[in-house]
Chains A and B, each alone.
Chain A
């Protein structure tokens, strides 16, 4: 096969992986701290994408500028959702949170169907069809921007976790709940903040995805399984894992499509999922239990 095509497929794969990384980073954060899989992740992403869609269509706010609205809005939504509902109803039991988020996802998706209808929508912005030459590939500008901003945001989130007091508190709670409580950390507040940050990453992901993708009430399903695979591959709760995992999955999908066809190619993602569970259940960067 032509080397140029392989190089172009690699570039496409990396760009796709950047988006997966951002969706997965919120999932891995929520898992790392709350020790639950947030089943509502896909439906929250859908909600955020509709937010971006309506900010553009009703208020004329550019999808990239809407990051500054969607990130705080999703953070507050997540924080309040945890404080008002998930935290209260879970009675401190992980399995309750799991069921609650599952219930939430069903509720949100059906409400979305009721209000937004099953319709899928796309947006058109002036730079939608601007193409940039990256090596042998022609890449739409929105994809490049999405990749760059996604990587930047992941780095910023990583720094936040390493350098700030809140970040340290989150890591402390993730490692040792009781110990964190003993040294005076408000564990419930940290839970709510973590859930909020988890959803805030989706706010950013939604802003970056809308110029290149469509939104419909079921769009969450298109990404959530991939995000789970990224989290499992990178290691549950690991940020670096989410970044590397996202890029690997993006490349796998792209090369799978190139060599096996776009239909069979998606088998690569499931294969990685199974192999990781079999041979390295803690993932590439996950802490061994």
Chain B
């Protein structure tokens, strides 16, 4: 049998009074609404490692900002990460943007791959939502006139220009030992664009490109490419590929004893601490022009330790995403609102100093920060060192590398 207890008037009044009393502290300490930041990274699929690293860097920054009291100008409003997974696919990146828009996102951070960033930023542009590019090399991302897109790091155009200068300098310093180069690149926007720019600019430093070899993602075997390179006998091999293919290619070239003055890459997807740790002999003497932290900055070194204490690696994805969140927080602080239009204006006029990087203060021109720069790196058997520019360098380059 079911018994019912009709609600008495007294009971309702008691309940009302109780809820008013219990709810009061919450009302008294009412927190401003959290500011939702959509992280659109490929945390599954082929680019999952890099996506995970980006996410880690962004979350570290968000945690740090919140622990320090949130955005002061907005009454201590906290940042809240909306976690997205583009699954390494452009169309999923777009649907994540659309989903987050429904969830009331204030800004986006992404996307690691240019191929995903291009449509995702366009989707965000429909809503005029600020989109910070942490990693994404193609200059098309910022060249399309989208007012909502901001990239803190230099794109491949500037990276190639700076890399050419750095390579030209060390080659000249070594008596111009390298006169020819073979370029090997992956077939998407990143590799193709970088290789095209490089091939066009190498002659300016007296290095002739002999051939440009394109490969698919994934490529399971690089033996034939190694054979072709051996046949061409270049002085340099210049690579532009993502993580997996970078490692396979570098290993195959080392195994096939392709003797060159340097194995060089611009924004080399696999040039990182992991390569040094897992394949020290392959990594030894390899050079890469890439995004890097400032090894002379104490805060950067502290962040590196923090990541390593968690068992992670301090790869460029981590500190680029970290810095982008800090840049956004600075814009929020100055705009004192999460209003999209005002934040976009604040970002556009930003002069924030990313001290963890070898950068100057930010200066955005059409969404691209012109204060950013990469660094020339060289791997030893145990570490990666900055070898140029000189004011950030921790050692001198070994060039040409010793014969195999």
Contact = CB atoms under 8 A, between A and B. Distances in A.
Interface of A: 2, 5, 8-9, 12, 16, 109-110, 113, 117-124, 128-129, 131, 137-138, 140, 213-214, 216-218, 221-223, 226, 253-254, 257-258, 261-263, 265-266
A262 B216 contact: yes
Which of B46, B220, B247, B279 lies at the interface centre, i.e. has the most chain A CB atoms within 10 A of its CB? Answer: B220
A120 B222 CA distance: 17
4 tightest A-B CB contacts, nearest first: A118-B48, A262-B215, A12-B223, A263-B214
Contact of B251 (A118, A122, A226): A122
A216 B46 CA distance: 8
Contacts of A118: 43-44, 47-52
A119 B49 contact: yes
A113 B279 contact: no
B248 A9 contact: no
Contacts of B255: 128-129, 131, 138, 140
Interface stretch (B125-133, B148-156, B224-232, B352-360): B224-232
A19 to B, nearest CB: 9
Nearest to A262: B215
Interface of B: 43-52, 187, 213-216, 218-225, 227-228, 231, 243-244, 247-248, 251, 254-257, 274, 278-281
A258 B278 CA distance: 30
A263 B221 contact: no
Nearest to B218: A222
Contacts of B214: 261-263
A50 B172 CA distance: 46
B44 to A, nearest CB: 5
Contacts of A218: 44-46, 48
A103 B127 CA distance: 36
A257 B50 CA distance: 28
A137 B230 CA distance: 12
A282 B45 CA distance: 32
Contacts of B280: 124
A232 to B, nearest CB: 18
26 contacts: A2-B231, A9-B223, A113-B43, A120-B49, A120-B244, A121-B278, A122-B251, A123-B278, A124-B281, A128-B255, A129-B281, A131-B255, A137-B227, A138-B256, A138-B257, A216-B244, A217-B44, A218-B44, A221-B46, A222-B218, A253-B220, A254-B221, A258-B224, A262-B213, A262-B216, A266-B216
Contacts, number: 110
Contacts of B251: 122
Contacts of A221: 46, 218
Contacts of B257: 131, 138
Contacts of A223: 220
Contacts of B244: 120, 214, 216
A210 to B, nearest CB: 12
Contact of A16 (B221, B247, B278): B221
Nearest to A5: B227
A42 to B, nearest CB: 12
Contact of B278 (A122, A217, A222, A266): A122
Given A118-B44, A118-B52, A122-B279, A254 B216 contact: no
Nearest to B221: A16
Given A5-B231, A261-B213, A110 B49 contact: no
Contact of B254 (A129, A137, A213, A266): A129
Given A118-B49, A254-B224, A110 B44 contact: yes
B314 to A, nearest CB: 14
A40 to B, nearest CB: 17
A263 B187 contact: yes
A64 B280 CA distance: 22
A120 B243 contact: yes
B219 A262 contact: yes
A137 B223 CA distance: 10
Contacts of B243: 120
B279 A117 contact: no
Contacts of A262: 213-216, 219, 222, 224-225
Nearest to A139: B223
